[in-house]
Structures are given as structure tokens and as C-alpha cells.
Amino acid sequence: MDRNTELSEFLRSRRARLSPGDAGVSVTNDSPRRVPGLRREELAQLAGVSTDYYTRLEQGRHLNVSETVLDAVARALQLDETERAYLFELTRPRPRRTVRRRPPRPQRVRPGVHALLRTLDGISPAFVLGRRGDVLASNQLARALIIDFEALPYHERNMARFMFLDEAARSLWPDWETVAAEMVASLRLEAGRHPEDPRLTELVGELTIKSADFRKWWADHNVREKTHGVKRYHHPVVGDMTLSYENVAVPGDPDQALCMYTVEPGSPSEAALRLLASWTAPPSARSSAPSSDARPSGGPSSDVSP
């Protein structure tokens, strides 16, 4: 991803979404507006910089931009904390390299984190997300809830890839459009932090070609940091569940996050999760599980691969 191009398109998209009324800019009826949202000169006035200066910034010519100016632009555009951090990331000077950059090393999950995933099995679906949304490790309950990532080829063990290229994902998440759009915004944030990651570039290119939804949301230039929230699932075996999630950074591995799901005690979702856990338990522990011809096969669809 070219950082100057991304800076230009990000600023234009944020300006286009901000109406004069929301920004407190008075508009005269005899001045026709040819652009959505604010004009460049209006945004420049709100930020306290010249129109020429802001124009150069929006065109990606952002040499020696001070934090004071960036703060003013962020306030004028009404950016949230994630968007503000993304703006600063895009304008951060990058050291010149005289040697060819090596590809990033494959990420590895420490044995202690694997042990933690096993400890959570039967209690909480849990998995480790790495760069680009790669699923680096997971416990049995997470694989039964979503899909058995560990049965997939290594390069396909990616949450965004599953979400956009496997039809099973659309039925797994009743709020698929919301969840998928958030995933795109998370990838956009990742691209700003790691613009020279070739595997990320390859993933975005593949999804852009193969998914019209991804292509549409990627063009919105939204960014989002996913740390916690609530997701609804419609599992083909145990039915509907509402799960809360927490993404916790793995100490010592800043590009890894442990994602854990919990349910409200005494809720129908807890009963459904317990039923799913009983079916993923070893045979010796299944004696009390209800009988059924259907058994989870490690994911919502065993005959469809992302």
C-alpha cells in the first residue's frame, strides 16, 4: 500500500462524510456545492491552516507535518481515537532502506499460549489472531464454533478469507454485513501499520478481486480497532448464541491477540455453548450428552472450504 495515496484517499473520505451542518459551517444558498461533505477550504479554515497547505497534505505531500497540525486536522475532521492514530501512522516518517527488506518471519505461538488454549477448552472458544487476521492457533471449542482452521492449508487459515470466501460464514453470523465490514476496517488499520507486508498485499488483492462486498468496504477507508464486543452466531447444530469477546494482546508478541468468548450465565446461549462443548469433548466425557444424528464436524460447513 502506497502511504501517500492512502493518506490522500483517507483524508478525502473523512472530509466527504462530514456535512457543513455537522461541522458548524454556514452555507449560503447561492453557492452550489459540487463535492460531498466539506470543501477543502472549509476544512482548512476549521483546522487553522491555509487552503494550499491542507491541499498539499490531502494530495499526499505531507513532508514535515507537525503534530500540532495533525491534531488540528483530526479535530476538524472529527476523527475518533483509532482514526486519529491511523492518520499519525500514515504521516510518520519511514527510514530509508539501502538493502532489500526481508519478508516477515512466520508467526509462532508459544507453548504456554497453546497450553492456555487447552485449559480454556470446554469453557470458552478461544483462538490466537496474528497479523492480517491469520488464525495461528485455536482450541477445539473455537474450531467447532467457527471452522476447523487447523484442517485447512496454512495459507487459508485467515479469518477475513473465511468470512468473504466461504458461503458458510454468511449463515454463521446473522449480522454478517456488520461483522464483515468491521473485519475490512481492521485490515485497513493493519495495512497502515504494516504497509510493506507482502502477504497482506496479496490477501487484500485476492479479496478485492473475488468479493464485491470486500471491494466496496475497502474503498470506504474505514479503520477500526477490535478489542472487545458482542457477536451473534447461528450454529448449524446448537442454534443461536450471543457471545461476548475480549481480544487480549499476548505479552511479548505485540502482533498476536488472544480472542476469548464468554456467555451470560444461565442464558440460552450458555446452554447452547455447553451442548457444543459436550460434543467436542473426548468420547469418555460424552456420556451425558444428548443423542443426535448430527455432530459438529469442526465448523459450520465440512464440505465448503474458504
Q: What is the mean pLDDT of residues 87-98?
A: 73
Give the per-residue pLDDT at 300: 38
Q: What is the mean pLDDT of residues 153-175?
A: 95
Give the per-residue pLDDT at 172: 97
DSSP calls for 3-27: HHHHHHHHHHHHHHT--HHHHT---
Minimum mean pLDDT range among 3-17, 114-128, 273-287: 273-287
Answer yes or no: is pLDDT of 306 > 60: no
Q: What is the dihedral of CA 227, 230, 182, 188, to 10 degrees?
A: 10
Give domain limits for the chain: 1-19+36-89, 109-280
Element (DSSP H or E) covering residue 208: helix 198-210
Confidence band, pLDDT 50/70/90 cuts, at residue 265: very high
Q: What are phi and psi of 103, to 5 degrees?
A: -60, 145
The whole-angstrom distance between residue 216's C-alpha and the CA centroid of its chain comes to 15
CATH tag for 1-19+36-89 (out of 3.30.505.10, 1.10.260.40, 2.70.150.10, 3.40.630.40): 1.10.260.40
Q: Cell 487552503, residue?
A: 51
- The answer to whether 72 and 48 have CB atoms below 8 angstroms apart is yes
Question: Measured between alpha carbons, how far is 20 from 171 in angstroms, rounded to an integer?
Answer: 40
At the top level of CATH, which class does the domain 109-280 belong to? alpha beta
Q: What are phi and psi of 33, to 5 degrees?
A: -105, 125
Q: What is the mean pLDDT of residues 282-301?
A: 45
